[in-house]
Amino acid sequence: MVVPLVVFCFDFSKKPEKMDDFRKWARRKTVFYRKLYGADIKNVKRRVDGSFLEAVYHVRGLTDTIPCLRLDRSVFAVRPEDFRKVISFFEEFPEVEYKFFLGVFDEKEIRNDMISSSISKNSLEALEKSFREIIKIRK
């Protein structure tokens, strides 16, 4: 059986020339990646006695809240029912260029938590048709 997933490929905009613009760009890029993938944050506090208290906590990102299959650095796949969440996330960051397409994966190759359901050939064709309609609406 095959499982359909929506594959997203993205690229953050190119580096600006001016130093002030570069700092804003770098901060915005960090915010984008933390909101998308989450991050482990290390918090170090110095106590009165001179010792240090370290705490590491994880900030949850979008891919922590929905099942996601990371394929490469800037490529990941989500279930079709999570498509709208990812699109609305990317719309918050206009400086990020992204493309998406429907991918068909073998059920055995992806993790069990990614599988929402197996799909027949007829259902796959219907899903592809609706997916093409979505693309037409976005243009």
Q: What is the DSSP string of 65-126?
A: HS-EEEEETTEEEE-GGGHHHHHHHHHT-TTEEEEEEEEEEETTTS-GGG-S--B-HHHHHH
What average pLDDT does this structure show over 50-55?
84
* Short-list 66, 71, 57, CA closest to 110: 71
Mean pLDDT of the chain: 81
Q: pLDDT digits over 72-93, tens only?
A: 888 998 888 888 899 999 999 9
Amino acid at 74: S
* Short-list 1, 6, 14, CA closest to 138: 6
Residue-range definition of the domain harbouring residue 89: 2-138
What average pLDDT does this structure show over 33-62?
86
pLDDT of residue 49: 86
pLDDT of residue 41: 84
**Where does the pLDDT of residue 35 fall: very low under 50, low under 70, confident under 90, or very high at 90 and above?**
very high
pLDDT of residue 10: 92
Q: Are 23 and 14 in contact (CB under 8 A)?
A: no
Structural domain count, the chain: 1
Q: pLDDT digits over 16-33, tens only?
A: 888 778 888 889 999 999
**Where does the pLDDT of residue 46 fall: very low under 50, low under 70, confident under 90, or very high at 90 and above?**
confident
Q: Judge whether residue 113 has pLDDT over 60.
A: no
Q: Judge whether residue 137 has pLDDT over 70.
A: no
